[in-house]
Structure 1
Amino acid sequence: MSSEDEGAGERSGREPEQLALVREMARQAKAPKAKPRTWRGADVAEHLPVARVVVDKGVLHLDRYFDYAVPKELDAEAQPGVRVRVRFSAGAGRVHAGRREGGGLISGFIVDRLAESDYDGPLAALAQVVSPEPVLTPELLGLARAVADRYAGSLADVLQLAVPPRNAKAEAAPSPDPLPPPSAPEAGSWERYGPAGPGLLAELARGGAPRAVWTALPGPQWAEELARAVVATLASGRGALVVLPDGRHAARVDAALTALVGKGHHTLLTADAGPQKRYRQWLAVHRGSVRAVVGTRAAMFAPVRDLGLVALWDDGNENHSEQHAPQPHAREVLMLRAAHENSAVLLGSVSCTVEAAQLVDSGWAVPVAADRAVTRAAAPRVRTIADHDLARDAAARTARLPSLAWQALRDGLREGPVLVQVPRRGYVPRLACERCREPARCRQCAGPLQAAESSLLHCAWCGRPEADWHCEECGGFRLRAQVTGARRTAEELGRAFPSVPVRTSGREQVLDTVDAAPALVVSTPGAEPVAEGGYAAAVLLDGWALLNRPDLRAGETALWRWMSASALVRGQSAGGTVVIVAEPTLAPVQALVRWDPVGYALREYADRSELGFPPVSRMAAVAGPQAAVTEFLGAVELPSDAEILGPVPLHESAERGRGRPGEGAQMRALVRVPPGSGMALAHALKTAQAARMARGGRAPVRVRVDPLDIG
C-alpha cells in the first residue's frame, strides 16, 4: 500500500480543511471569533442537542458537515448513521444550511451528535428522521471519506455509491439469525498451486491476514477456489467480501459457495436484483445476519462485519471502474478497506495487471501461481498467424480466415463448440478508404461512418445517411472494413459452415453458457459464454484492432482479453487449440503463446518505471473546453513535484458523449506526480474545482484521478 493510501486512512475520521466552502471560509477568516453557541428552545433535546449532518449534495464546494438542532420528539431516533431530511438551500455562493430561515428539504445522514455547535448563529432543526435504521456506520463513513479524498471527489457522491436507496418494506422485515461458522474446507484444487495454495487457505482459517496476487490456472475451477477462500475465512469467525466484474461471474461463485456450505452463510449483491430484494440483502449484511458477500462493483462498499478477507477477481476488467463520480476503482477501494480493517487481500485473475505485478515486486503481496509444467498442461496450445497474411491466403477470401484458423475451426467442430472472438460488435463498425486507408467520416459532424446489413452508410454519431461518399484525401470511392463486426463475422461463418449452428454473444444478447454440441460461438471480448466441458478450439480475430488503440494499456488489455477467452478452451492434454491472428513478434502475443501473463506484466512495469507512468506515479486527467482547461491549470496550486503533460486535443470526444454543443474543441491535460504526492495532488485538484464551482464557472471541467485510459 502506498504512503498516500495510509495517510488517507489516518485522515478519514476528521473533516479536511479543504472541504470547507470557499466563500464561507473567507467570511469566517475576516469575522471576529465568537464563542460557539447552540440554539436552545423548549422543543430541543436536552442531551447532545446538535446533530452533525452530511447532506446529499454531491458538489465539491458544499462538501462539508452542517449542524442542525435536534427537536425533542426526534431525540430517540436521531442517532448517528440514520437518514434524515433537513432544510437546505444554496445559491449565489451562499449556503443557508443549519440556519432557521429558508431552504428546501434535502436528504442526509447524521454523522455525530454534539453538545454544542461551532456555528455562531441560530440552528435550524432537523425536519424528519426518515428511518431509525443506522445504515451509515463509522467504518463505512471513514471508508467513504478516504475514497473521496483519494479521488478528489465529494463525500456525498461516494455515499450514494456506498448506501443503497431505502426500501420501507425491506427495512420493516426482520433479518434471519446468523448461522454458526462452517468448518475449514479442504484445499481441493488449490493443491495445483503447490504449497502456496493450501498455505493461503490455512492462514485464512487461522485468522491471518495474508495479501496475495493469485494467477489462476485456465478452466472453470477458479470459482470453486474463490469459494474455498471465503469458507476458510468464515471458519475463523470473520466476514468475507468478493467483488467480481459482472453478474455472470458472481453467479458462478455464488453457486460454488452454495455447493460448499449451503445457503445462509452468504448473499449475492448484483444489479439484477430488484430494489427491495437488494436492499433486504444489504440490510442482512449490515445487521450481521450474513457474514459473506459475493457481488459486482457496488458490493465493494458492503458493510461486512469483522471483515477478514477482501477478494477481487479479474482486476484488469474495466467493469471494476465506477462510472459515477468520483469514479473509484474497486481494487483501490478494497485495498483501502484492507488497510483500515486489517483484512486479507486476494487479487485473482488468469492474467496479471501491471498494478498487481507492482504489489508483488514491492513485497506488499506474495504471488500464488502454479509451476510451469502444471500451467502448460492446463493451458491450450496457442498458434499465431500474422494479420497481413490474410491478404495472401486463399481461404481468407471465403470467411476472412487464414488456412490455419480454418483448420482449427474444422477440427474443433468435430470435438465440440468452437469460440471466435471478434473485437467489435455490430456489422461493419468502422470503414476506411480502400486506397489510402483514411477513416470514412460524416460530412455533417465528422463522425465515423458505419455500414448496416442493408449496406447503406450512416453516421455513428448523428445518424445521418451517407449515399454519395468519397474520400476527401485521395478522391477514392471504394471502402474497406477496418474491423469487421461480430454480426458480419457470424454471417460469413454461417456461409462457410452451413451445417453448423452459429450463435452470437455480445451487448445485445450475452450468453452465459453453451452446451457441448458442435457449434460456432461468435463473441465480443468479455461476453464469451462458458462451454460445457470447455471449447475444443478458439480463434482470436483482428488482434491489431486491440493492440493499435492509442492507450498506454493497449497491450495489457489485449493480453487480458485474449487470455480470458483462451482460458475457456480445453487444455493441451485434451487437444485444446487457440489461433490468434496478430503479429507473432509482439510482446503480448508472445506472452499468450508462452502463457506467461506475469512475465509480461513485470516487463511492462519496468518500462513504465523508466518513463514515470502509472502505477509508479499517480496521475490525474483534466478535460474540457480549451479555455476552461487552461484557466483551471493556471489556478490550481499543484505540488512542487507535479508535471503537466499537455493539454492536447481529446479525440472522438463527441463519440464518448463528453462534448456539448458550443463548447468548442475538447482538450485534456495529464498531471503526474511521483509516489508519495498522490494525496497532495488530489487535494489541490479538489480545492481548485471547489473554488471554480463556487465562482459559478459555466464551462465544465472534468477531473479524474487515476484514469484508466491514458492515450
Structure 2
Amino acid sequence: MPPARLASRDPGAEERQMSPPKDDDGALFNVPRESSTGSSAPKGRGPRARRPAPELPVARVVVDTPLPHLDQPFDYLVPEAMDAQAVPGCRVRVGFNGRTLDGFLLERIAESSFEGQLAYLRQVVSSEPVLTPEIAGLARLVADRYAGTLSDVLRLAIPPRHGRVEREPAAAAAKPPAPPPAGPWEDYPAGPAFLSALREGGAPRAVWSALPGPQWSDAVAVAVAEAVAAGRGAVVVVPDGRDVAAVDAALDERMGAGRHVALTAELGPAERYRRWLALLRGQRRAVVGTRAAMFAPVAELGLVVLWDDGDDVHADPHAPYPHARTVLSLRAHRAGAAALIGGFTCTTDAARLVESGWARPLAAARDTVRARAPRVLATGDDTEMARDEAARSARLPSLALRVAREAAQEGPVLVQVPRRGYLDALACARCRAPARCGSCNGPLALQSAHAMPYCRWCGHIAGDWRCGACEHGRLRATAVGARRTAEELGRAFPALPVRTSGREEVVTRVPARAALVVATPGAEPVADGGYAAALLLDGGTLLGRADLRAAEEALRRWCNAAALVRPAGDGGRVVVLAEAGLAVTQALIRWDPAGFAERELAERRELGFPPAVTMASVTGEPENVREFVDSLELPEEAELLGPVPVAAEGSGTAERALLRVPMGSARALAASLKAAAVARSARKDERLVQVHLDPMRTI
C-alpha cells in the first residue's frame, strides 16, 4: 500500500470555526444550484434565493477532504428553500476553495462564531439522516485515537448512497423475539449470569474463550437474541463471509427470519445499502457482518460482539487503520453497551482488557474443555514420537502419516498448510542462498511441477537463473505450498480423494466420508460431524517468522483448525509438527490459550512491546521519515526506536521509525503526531509518510 498522509484531529478545532473560501465566481455567498439528484434553491439570484432559513440558519458541515489541517467543521448558511431538507446527519454539497465537495451536516445552530460572511449550502443531496449522533461521536473518537481525520473515518463508516434504494417503501419494523433458552452458555459457569445481565439491560463485558466445536455461532445468536428481546440493538463482527453465514443461520434459528440483517461485500452496493438503511431506520435491531459492520447504525445499542479478534482482517487497511476490537470497545463504552470479545484463542490484547478490569474472563471449566477438545500430539512427544527418528527432519513424519491413515477410515482428515500455492520460496540447491529475480531482486517461486521459476514481485520468468553467490543453476524448495502438499498426499494416499481449500477456491463444507482436505489457515471447511483428525504442518515456518505475534498467531491458527476436529472421546486427534517443549505447543496440547496470552503479555511488558505499551510506526523515504520524527513534540517518556531500513518492493528504499510510550500517554502521542501532520499539510508539504498507531506488526 502506498504511504498516506497522517490524519487526525486538531485539538480545539470545534472552537476555531473557519469560513470556506470564495465560490467559483468570486462571490462570498455560494448560491445553491439546480441538481437532478437532490434539493436546491430556486434558480436565479433573487432575494429568496439568498435568504437564510428563519430558524437555526447556520449549518456545521464536515467536508470530505483528506487534508489534516482542514479536519474541523465549517459553518455555512442554510437557504430558506433547503430549510426542511437540511437536517442533521444528511449529505450535502458545499463550495470549498473553488470546488464543490461532499460533506455531512453535523448540526444546525442559531449563529456562527465566524466574524465574516458565510457561504450558502449548494445542495442537500438527500434528507436521509445517514450520520447519526452516536456514529458521529464515535467517528470523532476513533479519529482522535488513531491520529486520523474525521472524514477518513466517515468514509469507512457510511456506505455510498443509492437514491433508488432510499426511495423504496420502508419495511415494517420487526417485533422483538422472545428470550431464548441459555443453550450453549450452560457449559460456561458465568454464562447464565452474562445472559441475565443482558436481559436486564446491563452492560457486562467479557473476554470469551470458546469451547472447541461449531457451537460458538449458536452462543453468539443466543446473546444477540437476549439483547434484542430486552429492546436493545446488537452488532456482531466476524472475520469473513463464512462466519457471517454461520451466525446468520444461527440468528434465524434463535430469533426467526427477518429480525436482523447480514452485511458482506458480496451483497453488492445496492443491497448492502438497503440493509444498512434498515438498521438506520430502526426496522432491524441486530446486524452481523465483516469489519465494516463495526460502524453499523444500530439504534439503542445494547451488545457488541467480536469473534476471533486476533485475525488480521479486523484491522482496516485504509487510513487511519482502525481495528475492530478498539472501535467496538470504544463504542460499547460510549453507549453503555455490553461487550463480548471471543474466539477459540485469547489474544494478548484481550488479556490486557481482562488485566485492566475492563472485561472479565468467560471460560468453561477444565473438565468440560478436556471433554470437548481433541487429543493433541506434537513432535518430540515422549509417548508417541520419541521412537520416530525422522520426526524432526521429515515434513510428514511417520506418526502424522499413521494418524491420517487410521483416521481416514472414520471420516475426513484436515491438513493445514501455512502457505498457499505450489513452491512459494526457492533457494540455490548448492549454497542455500535465496533465489532472487535478476530484474527486481524479488523472490522466485514455482506454480507447478513443470513450470519455469517466476518472480513473485514483477512476474519475470527466470528460466536461465544462476545463483549470484556460487553460479549454480539448480533450485530447491524452502517453502512448500498447499497445492504441492496436496500433490504429495495424493501419491501417499492413492485411494483417498484429496480436496484443496484456499485463496483460489474456498470450500465451505465437506461430507462425513473418507477424504484428505488440504487447506490454508482461515479456509478450513467445516466437516459434517467433525474431522476425524487434523495434521498441522510446517509449525517451524509459522513460529520462525520475524513477527512479534508469530507464536500468538500460530496458536490461533492451530486452535481454529483443531476446533473443527471431533472430541478426544470420539477418537479425534491432532498432530502438530512443532517442538513439544515450546510454550505455544504446550498451550495447544493443554488447550490453554488464555494462560499462554497472559504469559505473552507479561513478557511483552518486560520487553516494552505492544499491547503493554502504545507504539506508532512512521514509514516512508529515509529523509521524509527523519524530518517528520524531528518535527514531533513527543511526551517526555517517549522512546524512539530506529529508523531502520524496511523491505520495499522494487528498487525503492524505505525506512521505519517506531515511537513507544506507556499506555497512559497514548493520547499525547496521537496529538503530537496529528500536530506534525497538520503543520506539514498547512504548508503544503507533499513529502509523504505513513503513520500507523498500534500497528499489527512492529518488527
Same-fold status (TM-score > 0.5): yes
- Which residue of 1 is the match for residue 645 of structure 2? 649
- Which residue of 2 is the match for residue 33 of structure 1? none
- Which residue of 2 is the match for residue 75 of structure 1? 83
Over residues 119-146 of structure 1, what are the superposed CA-to-partner deviations in whole Å (9 max), with x where a residue is unaligned? Answer: 3332221111111111111111000000
Cα contact 2:614–2:663 (8 A) shared by 1: yes
TM-score (norm 2): 0.91
Give 1:266's match in structure 2, choosing from 260, 270, 273.
Answer: 260
Q: CA deviation at 1:105?
A: 1.4
- Which residue of 2 is the match for residue 681 of structure 1? 669
Measure the CA separation in 2 of the matches of 1:679 and 1:19. 18
Specify the code of the residue in structure 2 equivalent to 1:668: R
Measure the CA separation in 1 of the matches of 2:520 and 2:491. 20
Sequence identity (%): 57
Specify the code of the residue in structure 2 equivalent to 1:237: G
Q: CA deviation at 1:474?
A: 4.2
- Which residue of 2 is the match for residue 121 of structure 1? 116
SS of the aligned residue for 2:62 comes to strand
Measure the CA separation in 1 of the matches of 2:397 and 2:16. 63
Say yes or no: does 1:48 pair with 2:51: no
Give 2:660's match in structure 1, choosing from 665, 668, 672.
Answer: 672
- Which residue of 2 is the match for residue 297 of structure 1? 291
Q: Check 1:704–1:21 CA distance in 2 against 1; reply closer, same or farther (3 A cut).
A: farther
- Which residue of 2 is the match for residue 277 of structure 1? 271
- Which residue of 1 is the match for residue 619 of structure 2? 623
Q: CA deviation at 1:694?
A: 2.7
Specify the code of the residue in structure 2 equivalent to 1:46: P
- Which residue of 2 is the match for residue 495 of structure 1? 491
- Which residue of 2 is the match for residue 7 of structure 1? none
Specify the code of the residue in structure 1 equivalent to 2:688: P
Say yes or no: does 1:105 pair with 2:100: yes
- Which residue of 2 is the match for residue 638 of structure 1? 634
Measure the CA separation in 1 of the matches of 2:662 and 2:168. 51
Cα contact 1:269–1:281 (8 A) shared by 2: yes
Measure the CA separation in 2 of the matches of 1:21 and 1:618. 30
Give 1:155's match in structure 2, choosing from 127, 150, 153.
Answer: 150
Over residues 391-414 of structure 1, what are the superposed CA-to-partner deviations in whole Å (9 max), with x where a residue is unaligned? Answer: 9639998xx411011011111111
Measure the CA separation in 1 of the matches of 2:423 and 2:69. 46
Measure the CA separation in 2 of the matches of 1:215 and 1:74. 53
Measure the CA separation in 2 of the matches of 1:396 and 1:559. 22
User: Where do residues 432-451 of structure 1 align in structure 2 (5 Å cutoff)?
Assistant: 432-451=427-446
SS of the aligned residue for 1:480 comes to strand
Cα contact 1:430–1:450 (8 A) shared by 2: yes
Cα contact 1:21–1:61 (8 A) shared by 2: no
Cα contact 2:51–2:79 (8 A) shared by 1: yes
Q: CA deviation at 1:420?
A: 0.6
Task: Say what the alpha-carbon RMSD is for the aligned residues.
Answer: 2.5
Measure the CA separation in 2 of the matches of 1:675 and 1:494. 52
- Which residue of 2 is the match for residue 97 of structure 1? none
Q: CA deviation at 1:283?
A: 0.8
Unaligned segments of structure 2, at least 5 residues: 1-7, 22-28, 32-46
User: Where do residues 88-237 of structure 1 align in structure 2 (5 Å cutoff)?
Assistant: 88-89=96-97, 103-194=98-189, 196-237=190-231
Q: CA deviation at 1:185?
A: 1.5
Q: Check 1:542–1:390 CA distance in 2 against 1; reply closer, same or farther (3 A cut).
A: farther
Q: CA deviation at 1:690?
A: 2.2
Q: CA deviation at 1:21?
A: 9.9
- Which residue of 2 is the match for residue 100 of structure 1? none
Q: CA deviation at 1:17?
A: 2.6
SS of the aligned residue for 2:408 comes to helix
Say yes or no: does 1:563 pair with 2:531: no
Cα contact 2:388–2:399 (8 A) shared by 1: no
Measure the CA separation in 2 of the matches of 1:19 and 1:700. 27
SS of the aligned residue for 2:59 comes to strand
Cα contact 1:20–1:61 (8 A) shared by 2: no
SS of the aligned residue for 2:521 comes to coil
Measure the CA separation in 2 of the matches of 1:394 and 1:227. 43
- Which residue of 1 is the match for residue 41 of structure 2? none
- Which residue of 2 is the match for residue 93 of structure 1? none
Q: Check 1:38–1:641 CA distance in 2 against 1; reply closer, same or farther (3 A cut).
A: farther
Specify the code of the residue in structure 1 equivalent to 2:108: R
Cα contact 2:417–2:538 (8 A) shared by 1: yes
SS of the aligned residue for 1:644 comes to strand
Give 1:393's match in structure 2, choosing from 376, 390, 395.
Answer: 390
SS of the aligned residue for 1:358 comes to helix
Q: CA deviation at 1:511?
A: 1.1
Say yes or no: does 1:64 pair with 2:60: no
SS of the aligned residue for 1:64 comes to coil
- Which residue of 2 is the match for residue 519 of structure 1? 515
- Which residue of 1 is the match for residue 458 of structure 2? 462
Moved more, 55-64 or 376-385: 55-64
Measure the CA separation in 1 of the matches of 2:155 and 2:16. 21
TM-score (norm 1): 0.90
Cα contact 1:88–1:105 (8 A) shared by 2: yes
Q: CA deviation at 1:58?
A: 2.2
Specify the code of the residue in structure 2 equivalent to 1:153: G
Measure the CA separation in 2 of the matches of 1:151 and 1:597. 29
Q: CA deviation at 1:266?
A: 1.0
SS of the aligned residue for 2:403 comes to helix
Measure the CA separation in 2 of the matches of 1:634 and 1:117. 38
Over residues 420-471 of structure 1, what are the superposed CA-to-partner deviations in whole Å (9 max), with x where a residue is unaligned? Answer: 1111111100112334432211122111011121241111111111123333
SS of the aligned residue for 1:466 comes to coil
- Which residue of 2 is the match for residue 591 of structure 1? 587
Cα contact 1:20–1:64 (8 A) shared by 2: no
Q: CA deviation at 1:118?
A: 2.4
Measure the CA separation in 2 of the matches of 1:317 and 1:358. 17
- Which residue of 2 is the match for residue 3 of structure 1? none
Cα contact 1:390–1:396 (8 A) shared by 2: no
Give the total of aligned pairs. 664
